[in-house]
């Protein structure tokens, strides 16, 4: 690793760590609990929070979901670039972003379910349009990662790239699902304390930086795997 790369990596890690720490501090010390009028329910009323402390889950649930959408956007763009250029670099970027995206969307689903339990009393409701659409998104990208595992053949990379492009259709469906599917998703309730938005912004920046660092790291591991394969092939040829 040369000096310039080392400095770039250090800056990225430092920026990600410091913004994550700032988001964490803002989560606890700056953001007040959401207001909870006495006649909140059950059943829950619009504009009212049953769990005014647990609403802060929103402040890391949304950044997790945002970075998952970003990773799937990168899968889409890198898959398209691979199909156009057939450069294995794009395939590596797409598969790495897909793997990270699955981890992030899994965490977004789990943290969202815990918030759902706090606010509405149940972990999961299939009638919640966004939950349902995000669950479908999760299964699609698990299939994408499975398709990519264990092979570096160009034919399979091409198939994975086509899948990566088609799978992206699930992202806008998941994002806009609460407007066009019958949804009871809790984030549509309007009353957030004013400090919510700066905390959310810092959280989104922190998770984006963390994502970029992990993507870079994952690509280095991918390059190392390629080197290992190269050595093994050389040894087999000379044996």
Partner 1 sequence: MNDVVYLYAALTVALVGLFAYLAYLQRKQSKIQAEVKRLEELVTRGTR
Q: Which one, 80 or 103, has the nearer CB to partner 1?
A: 103
Q: Does position 125 bind partner 1 by CB under 8 A?
A: no
With beta carbons less than 8 A apart as the criterion, state whether 74 and 104 touch: no
CA atoms within 13 A on the CB side of 145: 16
How many other C-beta atoms lie within 10 A of the C-beta of residue 77? 17
For the bound state, the minimum distance from the C-beta of residue 134 to partner 1, rounded and expressed in Å, comes to 16
Q: Does position 228 bind partner 1 by CB under 8 A?
A: yes
Q: Which one, 53 or 127, has the nearer CB to partner 1?
A: 53
Q: Does position 111 bind partner 1 by CB under 8 A?
A: yes
Sites for partner 1 among residues 52-91 (CB under 8 A): 52-54, 56-57, 60-61, 64
Q: Which one, 96 or 183, has the nearer CB to partner 1?
A: 96
For the bound state, the minimum distance from the C-beta of residue 88 to partner 1, rounded and expressed in Å, comes to 17
Q: Which two tokens stand for residue 196?
A: 């919510």
Under the rule (CB under 8 A), what is the footprint of partner 1? 50-54, 56-57, 60-61, 64, 100, 103, 106-107, 110-111, 114-115, 117-118, 210, 214, 217-218, 220-221, 224-225, 227-228, 231-232, 234-235, 238
């Amino acid at each position: 690793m040369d000096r310039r790369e080392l400095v770039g990596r250090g800056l990225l890690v430092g920026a990600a760590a410091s913004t994550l720490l700032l988001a964490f501090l803002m989560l606890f010390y700056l953001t007040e609990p959401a207001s909870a009028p006495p006649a909140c329910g059950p059943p829950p009323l619009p504009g009212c929070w049953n769990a005014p402390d647990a609403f802060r889950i929103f402040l890391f649930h949304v950044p997790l979901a945002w970075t998952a959408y970003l990773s799937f956007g990168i899968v889409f763009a890198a898959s398209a670039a691979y199909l156009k250029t057939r450069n294995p670099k794009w395939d590596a970027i797409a598969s790495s972003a897909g793997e990270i995206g699955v981890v992030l969307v899994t965490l977004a689903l789990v943290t969202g379910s815990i918030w759902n339990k706090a606010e509405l009393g149940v972990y999961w409701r299939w009638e919640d349009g966004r939950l349902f659409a995000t669950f479908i998104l999760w299964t699609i990208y698990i299939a994408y990662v499975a398709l990519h595992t264990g092979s570096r053949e160009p034919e399979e990379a091409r198939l994975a790239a086509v899948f990566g492009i088609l799978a992206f259709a699930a992202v806008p469906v998941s994002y806009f699902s609460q407007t066009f599917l019958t949804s009871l998703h809790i984030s549509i309730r309007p009353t957030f304390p004013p400090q919510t938005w700066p905390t959310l912004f810092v959280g989104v920046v922190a998770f984006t930086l963390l994502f970029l660092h992990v993507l870079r790291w994952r690509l280095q591991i991918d390059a190392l795997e390629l080197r290992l394969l190269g050595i093994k092939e050389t040894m087999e040829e000379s044996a």
